[in-house]
Amino acid sequence: MTRRLPAAVAALLVALALTSGAAHAAQPEVASGEARAVTKQALAQTAALIDAKKVVVASCKLDGARARCRAVIRGPRQTLRVTVAIRELADDYVVRVLRIG
């Protein structure tokens, strides 16, 4: 399990493109609900590695097309605190895991 966790984190560090359902204007703006949903979806694989049932997004700071969210992943034997940076582009998102531990 501990060998697979760095691989999952490395996969998350690569820009993760998630399609957005609607076309956005020239200046996209991240909504709170979008930021939380994107964070949960981006951390789903890591949560599965530690047998966590869900990802809890504690807070999100929004700044136009960017967001920084903090999440907690609680597994039966391990708890991870994660900081994620999100940038919304015209048709997708770029997600970076800044901190995990």
- Please write the tens of the pLDDT for every residue from 12-51: 554 343 444 444 446 789 999 999 999 999 999 999 999 9
Is the pLDDT confidence value at 94 over 90? Answer: yes
Query: Residue 80 belongs to what domain range?
Result: 4-100
Query: In CATH, what number is assigned to the domain containing residue 81?
Result: 3.10.450
Query: How much is the pLDDT for 14?
Result: 46
Cα distances from 95 to residues 2, 6, 26, in angstroms, run 23, 17, 20
Query: How many domains in the chain?
Result: 1
Is the pLDDT confidence value at 7 over 50? Answer: yes
Question: 56: closest CA among 45, 68, 44?
Answer: 44
Residue 63 phi, psi (nearest 5): -150, 85
